[in-house]
Amino acid sequence: GQNIDQPTEMTATEGAIVQINCTYQTSGFNGLFWYQQHAGEAPTFLSYNVLDGLEEKGRFSSFLSRSKGYSYLLLKELQMKDSASYLCAVMDSNYQLIWGAGTKLIIKP
Amino acid sequence: SQTIHQWPATLVQPVGSPLSLECTVEGTSNPNLYWYRQAAGRGLQLLFYSVGIGQISSEVPQNLSASRPQDRQFILSSKKLLLSDSGFYLCAWSVLGPENEKLFFGSGTQLSVL
């Protein structure tokens, strides 16, 4: 079966750095996405990785290792507004998106 | 610019009642459209997707149906709601580009079936 694993919840301090991990087992791989979802709102696109390595976008970076079936989202200089759920999704060989259950990130002052 | 509208935002319906959720997209032609359901503690579940008018693919057998009567309109329906239909429903459209086929979501409908 296809599976995406990410921690259910994480807590971090304002101004700090946090890394949210995602591991996947899918039938094929056509890219990995990270979305941010504030409570009660729609997910919004954060990043896309299809090749191994680190993609940096401002305070957010996303890393991919295809051989390990592993990705992480790195958030720097955390702000209170970063409190949200972070969803990992993998596109399989049939171009279907497989979603993780999301990681709820709690930021404390 | 492209926008997606989804309504209503919240809905409370009794078991056995019908359902109609509507989604419209503006600013793009022939988009791929999707209906997802999000249950607490679970990943997004794809319910239906459409690549064109009248073309609907169902991913999960259920008592829900979808229709696309116009290019930029996508409707999710049910004749008789079940308790298990409660959840957060999201409409989305996608565009194929440098960042693969990323999704743009509507604001969602929180459906409670009582």
- Give A43→chain B minimum CA distance, Å: 6
Residue indicated by tokens 């989305």: B92
Split at pLDDT 50, 70, 90, the class of B83 is very high
A87 touching chain B per CB within 8 A = yes
Q: What is the pLDDT of residues B4-34, one digit of tens each?
A: 999 999 999 999 999 999 999 999 888 999 9
CB contact under 8 A, B44 and A87: yes
Whether the per-residue pLDDT at A46 is higher than 70: the answer is yes
- Quick one: pLDDT at residue B61? 67
A60 touching chain B per CB within 8 A = no
Q: Would you mind telling me the total number of residues written for chain B in this entry?
A: 114
Which residues have CB under 8 Å from B98's CB, separation 6+? none
Chain B residue numbers touching A102 (CB-CB < 8 A)? 43
CB contact under 8 A, A43 and B107: no
- Quick one: pLDDT at residue B29? 84
User: How many alpha carbons fall within 13 Å on the CB side of residue A6?
Assistant: 30
A43 touching chain B per CB within 8 A = yes
Tell me, rounded to whole angstroms, the distance of Cα A37 from its chain centroid.
11
Q: Are A45 and A87 in contact (CB under 8 A)?
A: no
Which residues have CB under 8 Å from B106's CB, separation 6+? A42, B4, B5, B6, B23, B90, B91, B92
A25 touching chain B per CB within 8 A = no
Residue B31 sits at the vertex; the CA angle it makes with A95 and B9, to the nearest 5 degrees, is 100
Q: What is the pLDDT of residues A1-44, one digit of tens each?
A: 789 999 999 999 999 999 999 999 999 999 999 999 999 899 99
Whether the per-residue pLDDT at B98 is higher than 80: the answer is no
CB contact under 8 A, B105 and A43: yes
Chain B residue numbers touching A98 (CB-CB < 8 A)? 43
Structure tokens at B112: 């409670």
Q: Report which secondary-structure segment, H or E, holds B5.
A: strand B3-7
* Cα A26 to Cα B68: distance, rounded to the nearest angstrom: 30
**Mean pLDDT taken over chain B:** 92
Split at pLDDT 50, 70, 90, the class of B99 is confident
Whether the per-residue pLDDT at B42 is higher than 90: the answer is no
Chain B residue closest to A46 (CA)? Answer: B102
Q: What is the pLDDT of residues A51-95, one digit of tens each?
A: 999 999 999 999 999 999 999 999 999 999 999 999 999 999 988
Using CB atoms, pick whichever of A48, A50, A101 lies closest to residue B102.
Answer: A48
Residue B71 sits at the vertex; the CA angle it makes with B93 and B108, to the nearest 5 degrees, is 35
- Give A79→chain B minimum CA distance, Å: 23
Whether the per-residue pLDDT at A99 is higher than 90: the answer is yes
A64 touching chain B per CB within 8 A = no
Least confident piece of the model among A1-5, B42-46, B96-100, B104-108:
B96-100
B95 touching chain A per CB within 8 A = no
B37 exposed, middle or buried (CB, 10 Å; 0-12, 13-18, 19+)? Answer: buried
| Helix, coil or strand: residue B34 | strand
**What's the Cα-to-Cα distance from B43 to each of A87, B7, B47, B110, rounded to whole Å?**
8, 22, 12, 16
A7 touching chain B per CB within 8 A = no
| Helix, coil or strand: residue B83 | helix
* Cα B74 to Cα B35: distance, rounded to the nearest angstrom: 8
